[in-house]
Amino acid sequence: MIDVTVDAKIDVIALDADDTLWHSESRFQETQARLSEILDRHAPHAQVQDHLHELEVRNIKLFGFGIKGFTLSMIEAAIEISKGEITADEIHEIVMMGKAMLEMPMELLNGVPETLAELAQNFPLFLITKGDHMDQYNKIEKSGLADHFKEIEVVMNKDVASYGELLTRHGVDPAKAMMVGNSIPSDILPILELGGHGVYIPYHVTASFERHESEPDNPRYHRLSNIAALPALLKETNGGT
């Protein structure tokens, strides 16, 4: 871990996208619930969800994170759980469910546009998100938020190595960076290890990949109930400036 002083001034703000700026995981949950209904005659809902999760974990190295990979995993789960008895019409419905997720308009979280506009007046803003490039850039374009960001980065994974490479490439001192997001493993722990600040803003549902049992015990860790409180936290962290 890098040794830094707690009172280093923040001069770069990085933000996660899904479930930090706009709703995402709730749509995955709704689609998974429909998959369980389709497979009702083959297995209990809990078994469907558990098997789908196992397949997603197994398939990440092939498909990465994103709606297209999720859809392929749903199809694979349906075939395996039904022992090949899933009908063509039901597989077609699953494909259409995935397409519907890709075509949905973006629903921003409360306070996001106003907060980004305020922050962008005083800080360079970075958007750091992981997943399928086409899927994520499509979301960013539909969100209407792209102009607030100096840099937009879509990465395969969010870990210490990827954050370190990204910050070095942009000439950013990790001690002066703050990462804001809804996932402790992906958004908070890596930046804390690099010596920066992490701001956790919980979303009402958490993807199975992003669950974490406890919150960090670190003076550079912060928890907020909503993004609108971020400017005040920055002012306090930077000594009122």
Could you state, in order of their start, the residue ranges of all structural domains in the chain? 12-22+107-237, 25-103
The model's pLDDT over 100-123, given as tens digits with 9 standing for 90+, comes to 888 888 889 999 999 999 999 999
Return d(Cα 238, Cα 194) in angstroms, integer: 19
Give backbone dihedrals phi and psi of 192, rounded to 5 degrees, phi first. Answer: -65, -40
The partner residues of 178 in beta bridges, in order of sequence, read 13, 197
Give backbone dihedrals phi and psi of 83, rounded to 5 degrees, phi first. Answer: 55, 40
pLDDT averaged over every residue in the chain: 88
Tokens of 95: 């494909």
Tell me which amino acid residue 21 is: L
**What is the per-residue DSSP string for 171-206?**
T--GGGEEEEES-IIIIIHHHHHHT-EEEE---SS-
Where does the pLDDT of residue 213 fall: very low under 50, low under 70, confident under 90, or very high at 90 and above? low
80: number of Cβ within 10 Å: 16
Helix 67-81 and helix 25-38: axis angle, to 10°?
20
Return d(Cα 71, Cα 73) in angstroms, integer: 5
What is the percent of the chain where pLDDT is above 90? 63
In this prediction, residue 211 carries a pLDDT of 58
In this prediction, residue 200 carries a pLDDT of 96
In this prediction, residue 228 carries a pLDDT of 96
25-103: which CATH number, 3.40.50.150, 2.130.10.10, 1.10.150.240, 3.30.70.1050? Answer: 1.10.150.240
Tokens of 108: 């921003």
Tell me which amino acid residue 37 is: E
Considering only the top CATH level, what class is 12-22+107-237?
A: alpha beta
113: number of Cβ within 10 Å: 15
Answer yes or no: is pLDDT of 4 > 50.
no
Cα distance between the two ends of the chain = 28
163: number of Cβ within 10 Å: 26
HSE, side-chain direction, 13 A CA sphere, residue 82: 20
Give backbone dihedrals phi and psi of 153, rounded to 5 degrees, phi first. Answer: -125, 125
| Range from 7-11, 71-75, 203-207, 212-216 carrying the lowest mean pLDDT | 203-207
Residue 28 parent element (H or E):
helix 25-38
